[in-house]
């Protein structure tokens, strides 16, 4: 079954989804026992709630196929809106393999971040570009590692791995400009207009 079908009815209430599903899959219901019909209804109502989230669909299919209720891949595929071949694959999974597939799916969508193994590459860039600014380092990291990050996070990383030693002058200057006052405004070296300069 196509994923866009699930998306079309994503906002449908479970009861409405179940009534519609029975009408569209009368042949599946006719070939199922009463117990299987109950399980199919539970799976269908669950699918209506999760709005076609792939990982949860896989869990629903795994539960239905391993409940030892005699449901076929075609019946479960109709309930979770997936093709029979995909259901056959889910049926062969062990519990551990299911969990590993879920973790792998989650890992692909995690935001990448700087790790200790990246410190060497960044240190080399700082040595090769001693006059680089923080925005330039951020741009290098995004270009070379595909990691988007804020300058404040970069500074914490450089500090944690002792890389600030490669840019002491720049670090002091940038920290002075970036450090906010109590009002949130940057500190300026010029005297305030509301204060008279001290006499020598």
pLDDT value for 64: 92
Domain ranges of the chain: 3-108, 116-178
Span 95-108, average pLDDT: 83
At a CB cut-off of 8 Å and minimum separation 6, what does 141 contact? 114, 118, 122, 147, 149, 154
**What pLDDT, in 10s, does the model give residues 24-77?**
999 999 889 999 999 999 988 888 888 678 888 899 999 999 998 999 999 999
| Cα 123 from Cα 117, distance rounded (Å) | 11
Backbone angles phi, psi at 62, to 5 degrees: -60, -45
Under the banding of pLDDT at 50, 70 and 90, the label for residue 115 is confident
Average pLDDT score over the chain: 78
pLDDT value for 187: 45
């Amino acid at each position: 079954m196509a994923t866009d079908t699930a998306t079309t009815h994503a906002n449908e209430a479970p009861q409405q989804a179940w009534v519609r599903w029975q009408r569209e899959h009368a042949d599946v219901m006719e070939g199922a026992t009463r117990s299987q019909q109950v399980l199919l209804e539970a799976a269908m109502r669950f699918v209506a709630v999760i709005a076609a989230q792939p990982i949860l669909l896989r869990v629903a299919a795994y539960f239905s196929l391993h409940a030892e209720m005699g449901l076929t891949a075609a019946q479960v595929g109709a309930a979770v809106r997936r093709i029979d071949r995909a259901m056959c694959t889910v049926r062969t999974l062990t519990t551990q393999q299911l969990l590993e597939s879920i973790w792998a799916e989650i890992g692909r969508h995690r935001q990448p971040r700087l790790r200790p193994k990246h410190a060497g590459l960044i240190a080399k860039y700082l040595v090769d570009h001693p006059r680089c600014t923080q925005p330039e380092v951020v741009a290098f990291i995004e270009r070379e590692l595909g990691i988007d990050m804020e300058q404040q996070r970069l500074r914490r990383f450089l500090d944690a791995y002792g890389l600030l030693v490669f840019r002491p002058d720049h670090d002091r200057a940038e920290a002075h400009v970036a450090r906010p006052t109590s009002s949130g405004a940057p500190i300026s070296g010029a005297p305030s207009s509301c204060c008279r300069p001290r006499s020598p």
